[in-house]
Structure 1
Amino acid sequence: MNSRTDAAKLEPSAIDAAEPVNDLRSALKRLCAVPGQLLETDREVDPHAELAGVYKRIGAGGTVQRPTRLGPAMMFKRIKGYPQSRVLVGLMASRERVGLLLDAEPRRLTQRMAQAVRNPIAPTTVAQGNSPCQEVVHLASDPDFDLRKLIPAPTNTESDAGPFLCLGLVLGSDPDTGHADVTIHRLCVQGRDELSIFFAPGRHIDAFRQEAEQRGQALPVSINMGLDPAIHIGACFEAPTTPFGFDELSIAGGLRGKPVELVDCVSVNQKAISRAEIVIEGEILPNVRVVEDQNTHTGHAMPEFPGYNGPANPSLPVIKVKAVTMRREAIMQTLVGPGEEHTSLAGIPTEASIFNALEAAMPGFVSQVYAHTAGGGKLLAVIQVNKKSAFDDGRARQAAIIALGVYSELKNVILVDADVDPFDTNDVMWAMTTRYQGDVSTMFLPKINGHVLDPSQSPEFNPALPARGVTCKTVFDCTAPFHLRAEFERAKFKEVDPRPFAPELFGGNDE
């Protein structure tokens, strides 16, 4: 086993000196240069439950049942049943690592993403002969073709509906306008050339599918795996930040300062991401549905971001696979569903969306937004405000309402003052303990659309709710009332440079 697990701080100089990232391989090269960010193992692992079970203990974090921890990304170089394959997990399973990969300090990722949304760069198309993702081509028309033997899709738990492509970025286009959209969806391998696809309500590609289905037509799509992390994170923005017709690939372009390269697929009328490790080309069939767990009958789908095993869906659309194209020695990339990687993928775009909206409405009033890992990057946000007058007591609560409007799946908002670190849960809980009274510091907004994967958002849990995915949203105002601010001033300590006293903790003695 080759281990790179020493503790590491990502200094700005390390980021500045790094080579540019434009695909998964250059991202891994950058990680290899920083101790503690990548762990590689030659020990054989079974993709059925064992791989995820290992990473659960190594670095999954998030809402995974304890014991778990934040740790390095991990490359499994020997996969049982797949002698030519490698599997990467946890590439973005820490905010520190995402900062390294996106050329930003971890605490400035919100602002970095917010800037990219404001300065998008549209993707471009390159010739097929110049695309790494098409170095190897497997056509489904070949009698020996079998998706199940070709790609080591992991089964995260023993009760999963089947093997899942957990980081498959689906690219589809509006049948009327041709506008493209990219989204990560739940994709279960159902047969030699079939996948099921789950759409949460309101997803744009599902609207494309429905439009095509009304015409009796299939919707051509590509499923792109093993990508520059800027593409995955940029794809996780949602309306109203990225309205219908907005191409999320342009956010990745804004992050990198150059367009994402696309290429025409070899078997369907669609584009693929040129520098992907693996691309599955196919069509979403009209009027065809399958039971998600038809091959296992477990009753479960897979572990979802709130930390629970979602129920298997009884009726999902089907993707008929036409081809699989790959880079030579392709890397399969996956994640552990409830882990910290989901917080990075969903949460950092959530933060940027909220930050941009609040900056537009209240310039300078909000310093930070953190989509907390306890909510999987979707359900819980901590907002740091800067009160300057008694009027700002009301503005703080208005900021929470704006946040709930900008990101519809957000369930709970915690407001904190400028002296509270929103990224430090202990500090946030301290503010809730000492600056919050439940009967006067709480706002309830009942019966508002939320997220169907939160099991508490159901009429069975709360009979007042009309349907699953509707919830009571809550604002916890943990800020001190402005007129009492003197009573809530924190103890002030002398500012001392600790490096001469503990150089091993702070990277050297600057005296």
Structure 2
Amino acid sequence: MNLEHEKVKIVDLRSALKVLKSIPGQLIETNEPVDPHAELSGVYRYVGAGGTVMRPTQIGPAMIFNKIKGLENARVVIGVLASRERVALMLNTRSEHLGFLLNEAVIHPIEPIIVSKNRAPCQEVVHYANEPDFDIRKLIPAPTNTEEDAGPYITMGMCYASDPETGKSDITIHRLCLQGKDEISMYLVPGARHIGVFQQKAEDDGKSLPISISIGVDPAVEIAACFEPPTTPIGYNELCAAGSIRSKAVELVQCLTINEKAIANAEYVIEGELIPSVRVREDKNTHTGKAMPEFPGYTGSACDEVPIIRVKAVTHRINPIMQTCIGPSEEHVNMAGIPTEASILQMVEKAMPGRLLNVYAHSAGGGKYMAILQFKKSQQSDEGRQRQAALLAFSAFSELKHVIIVDEDVNPFDSNDVLWALNTRYQGDMDTIFIPGVRCHPLDPSQTIEYNPLLLNKGISCKVIFDCTVPFHLKDRFKRAKFKDVDPSRFVPQMFKKEYGEYDTSK
């Protein structure tokens, strides 16, 4: 294929948007002034949020808002990753191959490199926090997703910090609320993120932890940043996986006010320090009891005590573009789910090569709670291994709650096909495996003692395997009706001639 968008090399957010703009239906813009307080997200809910967002919603194009009320010369882009096909396009692969691509990237890392300031667009404009008129709320056009949120949130900030003992660095995405002119609260899931470990080490020594927040970067960085242990154990810098995706090292630059690095071609960089032994209520400015909409589709409760980042400086490109997402949207599904798929593929392949054909971290689980495993049984001794694969999936990604296993003739990315398998290849009393009392994710509202008195405490769950595979000795009785293989593009070319790929009649 000799397509126009393939000539553009994606290295940052702007080149990614250039690619999307060249493809009909992938990016739209509006010059209509929009209020960042609830209105912006309210608009995109209808345009392209998808995911677990309250219906009506849909998977649609990314969107740029060129006029933000109350903020001069501010632009906001949302939904860049809110379509699996769009993610595949930007990572130069097929949507069903994304998990495999990410798996290879983790296995073959490319270390980031440090470049000089004159090669770092993120430092073209500098605002120091000690300046009299400094106010991060007037510099960063962070939206407030709903009217009851704790405040404006940075939802696509690449948080970068280093272990105070070893110097090993890590990048992750966290819930960041703008609390004051130079204060940002940071929600850390207990025991789940490396930066939380770094922060605790620094705090135990009574020291601040330098941290940079890069906003508006190459989509490869945003996807890679969502890997979790055990696939990327502590000491593994996920920027190495992002470099592998591009076959080119991610470029970092030394921050101006703290001893840390930031992504050199980011649109915005916030430089700051996590202050030891200082905590605030997440909703201290609104007192709503709510934080922001989270991936399960509900608004998360505001935490009573969250750490504070004291901002030292904000740097940005000339005419920067703020990037954001809606917590329960398809964007979160892709960022969390594709690394989850890679993690499961890697662990199961090591244990039983060639049997797990593909994995889909389903949209209904926000990319975290549910995985569909496509498993192939080639001989009688493979019977039962499909359930072992499901157990390995729970080990590969601890926040997983439900696993559905299907045969090789079921498309794991087609929910109707998966539900067909559930209805015709599943008996509840023999094909359901319950694993009670296992740690899951604290944002699941059903994981409370009030909901289930048998739970010991919040965040404990009953994990479930739904085995929708045909017993090997009965496979001949469960063959699907076979139709003749034809090339439909001969008859309806307008429907089957795809813009970036030939039609695959095997799907």
Segments of structure 2 that go 5 or more residues without pairing to the other structure are none
Q: Which one of the candidate residues 232, 238, 250 is aligned to 2:222?
A: 232
Shift of 1:392: 1.5
In the alignment, what sits opposite 2:497?
507
Q: Deviations over 1:83-111 (max 9, x none)?
A: 21100000000000001100101111111
Alignment partners' CA distance in 1, 2:198 and 2:4:
40
Contact map agreement 2:5 2:19 (CA 8 A) in 1: no
TM-score, length-scaled by structure 2: 0.97
Contact map agreement 2:5 2:23 (CA 8 A) in 1: no
The farther-off stretch of 346-355 and 479-488 is 479-488
Shift of 1:18: 3.0
Alignment partners' CA distance in 2, 1:132 and 1:321:
20
In the alignment, what sits opposite 2:325?
335
Shift of 1:460: 1.6
Alignment partners' CA distance in 1, 2:4 and 2:223:
19
Alignment partners' CA distance in 1, 2:233 and 2:182:
33
Alignment partners' CA distance in 2, 1:216 and 1:16:
51
Matched, 1:171 2:160: yes
In the alignment, what sits opposite 1:448?
438
In the alignment, what sits opposite 2:251?
261
Matched, 1:22 2:14: no
In the alignment, what sits opposite 1:497?
487
Residue 84 of structure 1 aligns to which amino acid in structure 2? N
**Partner SS for 1:439:** helix
Contact map agreement 2:64 2:77 (CA 8 A) in 1: yes
**Partner SS for 2:429:** coil
Residue 78 of structure 2 aligns to which amino acid in structure 1? V
Contact map agreement 1:170 1:185 (CA 8 A) in 2: yes
Q: Deviations over 1:175-196 (max 9, x none)?
A: 0111101110000000000000
Q: Which one of the candidate residues 477, 480, 497 is aligned to 2:470?
A: 480
In the alignment, what sits opposite 1:244?
234
Matched, 1:384 2:382: no
Contact map agreement 1:15 1:103 (CA 8 A) in 2: no
Q: Which one of the candidate residues 78, 83, 91 is aligned to 1:94?
A: 83
Matched, 1:143 2:132: yes
**Partner SS for 1:499:** helix
Shift of 1:17: 2.9
Shift of 1:461: 1.3
Residue 126 of structure 1 aligns to which amino acid in structure 2? V
Matches within 5 A, 1:9-408: 13-14=2-3, 17-202=6-191, 203-408=193-398
**Partner SS for 2:384:** helix
Q: Which one of the candidate residues 399, 414, 422 is aligned to 2:404?
A: 414
Residue 330 of structure 2 aligns to which amino acid in structure 1? E
Alignment partners' CA distance in 1, 2:6 and 2:117:
32
Alignment partners' CA distance in 1, 2:84 and 2:294:
20
Contact map agreement 1:16 1:103 (CA 8 A) in 2: no
The structure-2 alpha-carbon separation of the partners of 1:140 and 1:206, relative to structure 1 and needing over 3 Å to count, comes to same
Contact map agreement 2:359 2:373 (CA 8 A) in 1: yes
Residue 292 of structure 1 aligns to which amino acid in structure 2? E
**Partner SS for 2:23:** coil
Alignment partners' CA distance in 1, 2:308 and 2:486:
62
Shift of 1:390: 2.3
Residue 408 of structure 2 aligns to which amino acid in structure 1? A
Q: Deviations over 1:125-158 (max 9, x none)?
A: 0111221000000000001000111111100000
Residue 45 of structure 2 aligns to which amino acid in structure 1? K
Shift of 1:57: 0.2
Residue 261 of structure 1 aligns to which amino acid in structure 2? E
**Partner SS for 1:187:** strand
Contact map agreement 1:187 1:196 (CA 8 A) in 2: yes
Alignment partners' CA distance in 1, 2:427 and 2:296:
27
Residue 235 of structure 2 aligns to which amino acid in structure 1? G
**Partner SS for 2:49:** coil
In the alignment, what sits opposite 2:423?
433
Shift of 1:319: 0.4
**Partner SS for 1:208:** helix
Contact map agreement 2:215 2:268 (CA 8 A) in 1: yes
Alignment partners' CA distance in 1, 2:173 and 2:390:
27
Q: Deviations over 1:328-350 (max 9, x none)?
A: 00000000110000011000000
Contact map agreement 2:5 2:22 (CA 8 A) in 1: no
Alignment partners' CA distance in 2, 1:114 and 1:288:
38
Shift of 1:284: 0.4
Alignment partners' CA distance in 2, 1:301 and 1:281:
23
Q: Deviations over 1:440-491 (max 9, x none)?
A: 0011111011000011112221111111111110000000111111111101
Contact map agreement 2:176 2:184 (CA 8 A) in 1: yes
Q: Deviations over 1:357-392 (max 9, x none)?
A: 111111110110000000000000000011112222
Contact map agreement 2:32 2:66 (CA 8 A) in 1: yes
Contact map agreement 1:415 1:478 (CA 8 A) in 2: yes
Contact map agreement 2:368 2:400 (CA 8 A) in 1: yes
Alignment partners' CA distance in 1, 2:182 and 2:284:
15
The structure-2 alpha-carbon separation of the partners of 1:162 and 1:257, relative to structure 1 and needing over 3 Å to count, comes to same
Residue 137 of structure 2 aligns to which amino acid in structure 1? R
Q: How many residue pairs align between the two structures? A: 499
Segments of structure 1 that go 5 or more residues without pairing to the other structure are 1-11
